Amino acid sequence: MLSNAFFLGKGGVGKTTLSAAFALDLARSGKRVLIASLDPAHNLGDVYGVALGDRPTGVERGLDALEVDLGAWVDRYLEESRSELKATYAYAGTLNLDRFFDIMKYSPGTEEYAVLWAIEHIHCELSAEYDVVVFDTPPTALSLRFLAMPAISRLWIAELSKLRERILEKRQSITRINPASPVASSCVDKADDKVYGRLGAIRERLAGLQGLFGKESYVAVVINPDQLSVSEALRIKEELDRIEVPLSGLCVNKRGVSAAEWSLDSRLSETPAFDFDFLPGGLRDREDLRTIDCGSLVADFMATAPEGTL
């Protein structure tokens, strides 16, 4: 059994509903479950009828839930970067770093990193208390960006590490030629270089997250019986293939909601599909979630072992 589950998909298809029902089903079968909402527009608390915050709150026996405070994680990420930069580059104190970080708050990528570090925190600090962690995700665009972030950033880090190695080599050459050069007093060795060490540490963190997404997670895409959500699912599948994260299951939610023609693309036919009927009475409280039958999905999740352990 994998220890994490992610529900991805287009806006409004039922990610929160199915992840909440799935987590409830697992908890009622005796597992210790944490469900975390990563959506900046949280509504997991509304679905369970419980006020949630950034720390795990008991929903019922075996089930805790939290809503990640993305704003706080953005601030934490910026603060970490600020103090790291100050510690690594003492001379940077002369630059106006505060203004730089004020702008960085709104720069592309900041929110994605904040989501990543929130997931890492849940994985490293909280998950030991649970058998399974379920993630309710924001609509496709942001989710694909944070899932791809480790793979993309690792390419950057690899290039930056090479550049740093070249700088250190140049310093060594200068020191050999002229031991009296001011360069000789700076760090010339990879093993002692703070910047090189930091790059290595970031690479490790990103590798851990990539492993979490690619090898320790059941990634499900939720669709509705309509062509638009099938097209979106295809785009998600292509992106997941590109970043080497396997697509584990397809949840066809709201079956019977309309009589419109639709069909699953053949490129999705190898992925196990699970049907969920449209409930005409709607879903008003936690007990209504029980009318969603997650049995086959839960069985598939339990049967899926991490790569190489079967």
Ligand X SMILES: Nc1ncnc2c1ncn2[C@@H]1O[C@H](COP(=O)(O)OP(=O)(O)OP(=O)(O)O)[C@@H](O)[C@H]1O
φ, ψ for residue 53 (rounded to 5)?
Answer: -135, -160
Considering the complex, state which of residue 140 and residue 248 has its C-beta at the smaller distance from ligand X.
140
Residue for token pair 């990563």: 38
**Helical ranges in the chain per DSSP H:** 15-28, 44-48, 70-88, 97-104, 110-121, 140-177, 194-215, 227-242, 286-289, 295-303
Residue for token pair 């106006």: 96
Residue number of the CB atom closest to Mg ion: 16
Candidates 6-14, 92-100, 237-245, 298-306; binding stretch for ligand X (CB under 6 A): 6-14
Candidates 7-15, 50-58, 116-124, 187-195; binding stretch for Mg ion (CB under 5 A): 7-15
- Compose the 31-50 pattern: x for residues touching ligand X by CB under 6 A, - for all others: --------x---x-------
Considering the complex, state which of residue 100 and residue 278 has its C-beta at the smaller distance from ligand X.
278
Q: Report the residue from 139, 197, 211, 246 that binds ligand X according to the rule CB under 6 A.
A: 139
DSSP string computed for 277-309: E--TT---SHHHHTTS--HHHHHHHHHPPPTT-
Sign of CA dihedral 43, 47, 49, 54: negative
Candidates 10-18, 68-76, 112-120, 297-305; binding stretch for Mg ion (CB under 5 A): 10-18
**Cα 168 to Cα 149: distance, rounded to the nearest angstrom:** 28
Q: How many CB atoms lie within 10 A of CB 46?
A: 13
- Compose the 181-200 pattern: x for residues touching ligand X by CB under 6 A, - for all others: --------------------
Cα Rg of the chain, angstroms:
23
**Cα 297 to Cα 272: distance, rounded to the nearest angstrom:** 9
Q: Which of residues 15-74 bind Mg ion (CB under 5 A)?
A: 15-16
14 belongs to the binding site for ligand X (CB under 6 A) = yes
Q: Which does 24 bind (CB under 5 to 8 A by kind): Mg ion, ligand X, none?
A: none
100 belongs to the binding site for ligand X (CB under 6 A) = no
278 belongs to the binding site for ligand X (CB under 6 A) = yes
Active site residue 54: no
Considering the complex, state which of residue 157 and residue 236 has its C-beta at the smaller distance from ligand X.
236
141 belongs to the binding site for ligand X (CB under 6 A) = no
**Cα 252 to Cα 278: distance, rounded to the nearest angstrom:** 10
Residues found near ligand X in the complex (CB under 6 A): 9, 11-17, 39, 43, 139, 253-254, 276, 278-279, 282-283
Q: Which residues are designated catalytic?
A: 39
